[in-house]
């Protein structure tokens, strides 16, 4: 496994400045934002696909520094009921896949998306309970009419380009846990797998270690984000964990995102890294920073310090019985 970073963290820097900073920090693996909700400060796939000189210069920026791209990321909602938004996010995703294919990058990270409740919806609708029966009917309609047809088509597109999509389970989208991710894969094809982000599992009450093992057994674990969540016991004890308050209201929320080690301790993260090793994951541990209590550089450097000695290098163990 290689420790890396999701480079949208440094969107205010130029690509070259960001890569120099990442290299100076001792990392040689990056995940690059390629549009959608996360922006395209360092990578505009449509421009790079249209201009061979720009594409060559982009690739050289990484090669000359000995930095590998673990994934391109185009987090969006291609199932959005607003047809313009859906089309934009769909085209961004497909351009990211085409670019990944040209660069020899195996994975593009995305969300599953979330439709509305009918053909007349204006906004996405995420259902969190089965009753009244309207809610169950909406979920069934979303999957049968929108989710499965779309991702079946994208699975074929991914096959054509020899790229895989790492869907990030995230509340607010139809894929938000292992069960929904594995359903999407089973229904639509095996070029669909997961980008595992423990922070979204923690606050939903799931066990990341058990979930990593399940995805590993299904050969569905493609990419990994290193991000933590801190549950506030007082606020969650009063209000539960479904929390629609702004992320800026940190003291009032039931949970907030934290830098690794500031939501869950060393033993938890050792167990997570060990679980990745057990299932044979040998990809990137991509640091993602959304900690409102730390600056970008503080969160980045503390995550590196916390994770570096916990990574198990493949082949490093030399036991007499092995």
pLDDT digits (tens, 9 = 90+) for 270-302: 999 999 999 999 999 999 999 999 999 999 999
Among 277, 301, 280, 281, which residue's Cα sits nearest to residue 289?
Answer: 301
**pLDDT (tens digit, 9 = 90+) per residue, 76-135?**
999 999 999 999 999 999 999 999 999 999 999 999 999 999 999 999 999 999 999 999
Query: Is the pLDDT reported for residue 319 higher than 50?
Result: no
Query: Is the pLDDT reported for residue 318 higher than 80?
Result: no
Q: Whole-angstrom Cα distance, residue 158 to residue 107? A: 10
Q: Which pTM was predicted?
A: 0.95
Both tokens of 76, joined, read: 């969006």
Specify the fold of 2-308: TIM Barrel (3.20.20)
Torsional class of 77: left (φ above 0), alpha (ψ -120 to 50), beta (otherwise): beta
What are the sequence ranges of the domains in the chain?
A: 2-308
Query: Is the pLDDT reported for residue 320 higher than 50?
Result: no
What integer best gives the mean pLDDT of the chain?
A: 96
Whether 138 and 174 have beta carbons less than 8 Å apart is answered as: no
Query: Is the pLDDT reported for residue 317 higher than 80?
Result: no
The DSSP result for 128-168, as a single string, is ----SHHHHHHHHHIIIIIIHHHHHHHHHHHHHHT-EEEE-
């Amino acid at each position: 496994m290689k420790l890396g970073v999701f480079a949208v963290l440094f969107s205010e820097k130029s690509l070259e400045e960001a890569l120099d900073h990442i290299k100076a920090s001792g990392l040689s693996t990056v995940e690059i934002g390629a549009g959608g909700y996360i922006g395209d400060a360092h990578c505009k796939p449509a421009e790079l696909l249209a201009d061979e000189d720009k594409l060559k210069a982009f690739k050289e920026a990484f090669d000359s520094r000995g930095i590998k791209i673990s994934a391109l990321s185009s987090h969006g909602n291609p199932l959005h009921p607003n047809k313009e938004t859906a089309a934009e996010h769909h085209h961004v995703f497909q351009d990211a896949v085409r670019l990944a294919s040209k660069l020899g990058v195996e994975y593009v990270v995305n969300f599953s998306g979330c439709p509305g409740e009918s053909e007349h919806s204006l906004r996405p609708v995420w259902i969190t309970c089965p009753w009244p029966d309207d809610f169950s009917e909406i979920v069934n309609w979303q999957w049968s009419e929108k989710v499965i047809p779309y991702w079946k088509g994208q699975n074929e597109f991914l096959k054509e380009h020899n790229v895989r999509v790492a869907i990030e389970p995230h509340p607010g989208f139809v894929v938000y846990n292992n069960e929904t991710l594995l359903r999407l894969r089973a229904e639509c094809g095996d070029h669909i797998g997961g980008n595992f982000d423990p922070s979204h599992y923690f606050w939903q009450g799931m066990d990341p270690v058990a979930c990593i093992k399940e995805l590993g057994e299904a050969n569905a674990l493609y990419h990994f984000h290193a991000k933590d969540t801190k549950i506030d016991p007082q606020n969650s004890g009063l209000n539960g964990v479904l929390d629609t308050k702004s992320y800026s209201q940190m003291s009032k929320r039931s949970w907030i995102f934290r830098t690794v080690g500031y939501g869950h301790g060393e033993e938890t993260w050792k167990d997570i890294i060990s679980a990745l090793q057990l299932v044979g994951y040998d990809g990137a541990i991509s640091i993602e920073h959304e900690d409102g209590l730390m600056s970008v550089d503080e969160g980045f450097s503390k995550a590196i310090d916390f994770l570096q000695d916990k990574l198990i290098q493949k082949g490093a163990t030399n036991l007499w019985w092995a």
